[in-house]
Amino acid sequence: MDKGVRAERMRGARGVYESNRKKIIATQDVCGICGEPVDKSLPYTDLMSATVDHIIPIAKGGHPSDIDNLQLAHRKCNRLKSDKLVNVVFVGNKKNEINNRDLPLSADWLSE
C-alpha cells in the first residue's frame, strides 16, 4: 500500500470517529460509566464535562471509531477508568503488558 492511500485511510477512520463522537454527544445524556447525567454545557476543562469513552479500550482490542464501542462519559469517570487499565492483554497468544499510567495527569484529585 502506498503512503498516500494509507494516509487517506487514516483520515477516513478519524473522520468516522469524529462524526460518531458528535452523534454520541448529541444523542446520549447519561454517563456510561457511573450512570449519572452529564451536563454538556460544561467547558472541557471541567471534570464533569462530557467526553466520549471507548467501552472496550483500543489498547484491549476495542474498535477505535465504531459507534457501538463509544459511549458518553464524564471526563472524570473516563480518566478514572483509563487510569485503572494497567493490564495484561493477549493478542492471539502473545502476551502484552499495557500500562497507561504514563499518561499525564494534570491534577492530584485521584488521591482524594
Q: Does 31 bind Zn ion (CB under 5 A)?
A: yes
The x, y and z cell numbers of residue 96, run together, are 502484552
What is the Cα gyration radius of the chain? 16
Which helix or strand (DSSP H or E) is residue 98 part of?
Answer: strand 94-99
CB 33 within 8 A of CB 26: no
Q: Does 77 bind Zn ion (CB under 5 A)?
A: yes
Q: Does 34 bind Zn ion (CB under 5 A)?
A: yes
Size of the site for Zn ion (CB under 5 A): 5
Which of 54, 74, 75, 79: binder of Zn ion (CB under 5 A)?
74
Q: Which stretches of the chain bind Zn ion, using CB under 5 A? A: 31, 33-34, 74, 77
